[in-house]
């Protein structure tokens, strides 16, 4: 990747990238008789059809990356620094708008919008303060100000809408996120626990006692909330029941950000022998395994997660694929040895904590979707070693996680792994597309602040696997998918690493 020799040529190169990408999007939409969704329209799956096409999504990413890099190039550095420093206030305003049910209030008001005094009256807050909050969000292209002090939803803010009547939410606020996409739930979690923890990042990293810690209960989260518990046990305290519910529903929201069929790509599931067992480790509701079970009826599944999560998984499968439970194609394992706390369906399997020996021996596949990133290397290695000890020579490990790209060209040995090399974006964009693909880097710091977890580069994964008895064998990238776009495969190193 070459870099223009002078600032003027860099500006022109970035502008040309933007113009070229716009032209390609227009041509693609025209060829399909589609319309690219205007910013002021409400979000619908139908309106997003054009944007979600892989070729259009690729050009959209170029536009975002080039635009942000162009802004950085032309804006005064002092302004860039000050605006970056003040960005947490946008986060705070987003959380407040969700907590005050502003998207739902504005949906009921209609496209003409609603004056801020009427918005504020619904939730008994100061309209003058709320106007300032909504104006910052509208300035950031979340909501729109249609006339002075009158606000309406736009495409971005409508995505936060739970589509429930405001009266119902006010009467039962604890059920606000039930039966929704989960997007609003995950955003409120990130802007609550995540944002508060982020504020303590400096104090944590520079702390002489815990600055180098890999423990899940020695984090910025612990300082922010004054607890010695790691985040997941803390969420399960009785006083945090609504936060736990919000988090669980939010995790479903992250699943909806990737096409359900994504799990079917990049692996020849159909080639596994009949009766092959897929162990979904840290599965949540087992969303991905459910998609596999519906498509590949010759496979069997074990869903493993915390006791607090397993009842929801059983309920989800009971609704979506009850026959699988009935015939024993799917089994559920919690992490408690207590019979009254362990939910098991069709099969007397032992309880399981993934830091202890894996009870399912020699399955075809161990699947870990967005699991390893919750843990530091110390604990991720423990998890992987337990899986390796239970693996057969033919067991495959499939990890679905964000994969971090370097901001410069990758020169590590991981480049030799089949499928690892992605084409570089056009110059003068950064090798990782800069803010055109910034989500993994934000998620990395969020998970570090919350539980000392981390997103990893392929080179990092390679070393992590090797230390636990696995060999990174290949990588599959799904073009056009923003989340869960990387599947990392590993096979056992022979012999197994000792425990």
The pLDDT averaged over each successive group of 10 residues in the chain (499 residues) is 63 96 95 88 82 85 94 95 97 98 98 97 97 98 98 96 97 94 94 98 98 97 98 94 92 71 92 98 92 97 91 93 97 67 34 83 96 96 97 97 92 93 92 90 96 96 97 87 81 73
Q: What is the crossing angle of helices 287-295 and 310-320, to 10°?
A: 30
Using alpha carbons, select from 347, 344, 391 the residue that is nearest to residue 495.
Answer: 391
346 is catalytic: no
The residues, ordered by sequence, that sit 6+ positions from 351 with a Cβ below 8 Å of its Cβ are 333, 334, 335, 336, 337, 338, 342
Give the C-alpha separation, 448 to 201, whole Å.
9
Residue with tokens 């069929």: 261
CA angle (177, 105, 120) in 5-degree steps: 115
**80 C-beta neighbours (distance < 10 Å), count:** 12
pTM of the model as a whole: 0.89
Residue whose C-alpha is closest to residue 122's, from 107, 142, 144, 139: 107
- Long-range contacts formed by 132-135: CB under 8 A, 24+ apart: 133/93, 133/96, 133/97, 134/93, 134/97, 134/102
Reading the block at residue 123, the tokens are 């939730």
Residue-wise over 88-115: b if at least 16 C-beta within 10 A, else e? Answer: eebbebbbbbbebbbbbbbbebeeebbb
Structure tokens at 296: 């590949």
Question: What is the CA 86 to chain-centroid distance, rounded?
Answer: 24
First-to-final CA distance of the chain: 44
Question: To which residue do tokens 């057969």 refer?
Answer: 392
Structure tokens at 230: 């790691």
Q: H helices then E strands: how many in the chain?
A: 21, 12
Which two three-digit tokens encode residue 432? 């990782």
Q: How far apart are CA 332 and CA 347, in angstroms?
A: 9
The residue from 101, 373, 394, 460 that is catalytic is: 373
Q: What is the 8-class DSSP label of residue 407?
A: S
CATH number assigned to the domain covering 87-175:
1.10.10.10
The ranges assigned to domains in the chain are: 7-74, 87-175, 183-255, 256-492
Q: How far apart are CA 384 and CA 388, in angstroms?
A: 6
CATH 3.40.50.150 fits 256-492, yes or no: yes
Tokens of 412: 């590590």
Tokens for 84? 């970056």
């Amino acid at each position: 990747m070459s870099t223009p020799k002078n600032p003027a040529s860099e500006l022109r190169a970035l502008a040309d990238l933007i113009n070229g990408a716009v032209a390609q999007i227009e041509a693609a939409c025209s060829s399909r008789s589609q319309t690219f969704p205007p910013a002021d329209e409400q979000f619908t799956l139908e309106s997003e059809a054009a944007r979600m096409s892989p070729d259009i999504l690729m050009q959209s990413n170029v536009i975002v990356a080039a635009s942000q890099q162009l802004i950085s190039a032309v804006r005064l550095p002092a302004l860039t620094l000050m605006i970056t420093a003040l960005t947490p206030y946008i986060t705070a305003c987003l959380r407040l708008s969700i907590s005050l049910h502003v998207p739902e209030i504005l949906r009921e008001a209609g496209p003409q919008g609603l004056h801020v005094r009427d918005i504020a009256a619904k939730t008994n807050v100061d309209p003058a303060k709320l106007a300032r909050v909504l104006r910052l969000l509208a300035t950031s292209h979340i909501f729109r100000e249609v006339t002075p002090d009158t606000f309406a939803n736009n495409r971005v803010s409508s995505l936060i809408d739970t589509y429930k009547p405001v009266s119902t939410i006010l009467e039962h606020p604890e059920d606000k996120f039930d039966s929704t996409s989960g997007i609003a739930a995950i955003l409120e979690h990130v802007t609550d626990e995540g944002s508060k923890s982020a504020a303590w990042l400096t104090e944590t990293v520079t702390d002489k006692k815990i600055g180098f810690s890999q423990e899940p209960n020695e984090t910025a989260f612990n300082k922010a909330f004054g607890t010695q518990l790691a985040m997941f046990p803390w969420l399960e305290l009785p006083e945090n029941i609504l936060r736990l519910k919000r988090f669980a529903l939010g995790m479903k929201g992250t699943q909806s950000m990737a096409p359900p069929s994504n799990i079917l790509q990049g692996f020849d599931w159909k080639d596994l022998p009949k009766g092959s067992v897929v162990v979904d480790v840290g599965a949540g509701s087992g969303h991905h395994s459910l998609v596999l079970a519906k498509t590949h009826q010759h496979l069997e599944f074990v869903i493993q997660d915390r006791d607090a999560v397993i009842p929801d998984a059983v309920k989800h499968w009971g609704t979506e694929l009850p026959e699988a439970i009935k015939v024993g194609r799917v089994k559920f394992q919690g992490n408690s040895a207590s019979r009254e706390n362990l939910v098991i369906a069709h099969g007397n399997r032992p309880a399981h904590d993934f830091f202890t020996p894996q009870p399912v021996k020699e399955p075809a596949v161990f699947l870990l979707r967005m699991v390893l990133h919750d843990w530091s290397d110390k604990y991720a290695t423990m998890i992987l070693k337990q899986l390796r000890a239970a693996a057969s020579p033919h067991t495959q490990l499939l990890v679905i996680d964000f994969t971090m790209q370097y901001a410069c060209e990758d020169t590590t040995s991981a480049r030799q792994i089949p499928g690892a090399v992605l084409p570089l974006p056009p110059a003068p964009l950064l090798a990782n597309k800069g803010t055109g693909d910034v989500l993994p880097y934000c998620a990395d710091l969020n998970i570090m602040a919350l539980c000392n977890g981390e997103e990893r580069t392929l080179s990092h994964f390679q070393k992590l696997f090797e230390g636990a008895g696995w060999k990174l064998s290949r990588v599959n990238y799904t073009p056009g998918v923003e989340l869960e776009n990387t599947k990392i495969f590993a096979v056992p190193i022979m012999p197994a690493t000792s425990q």
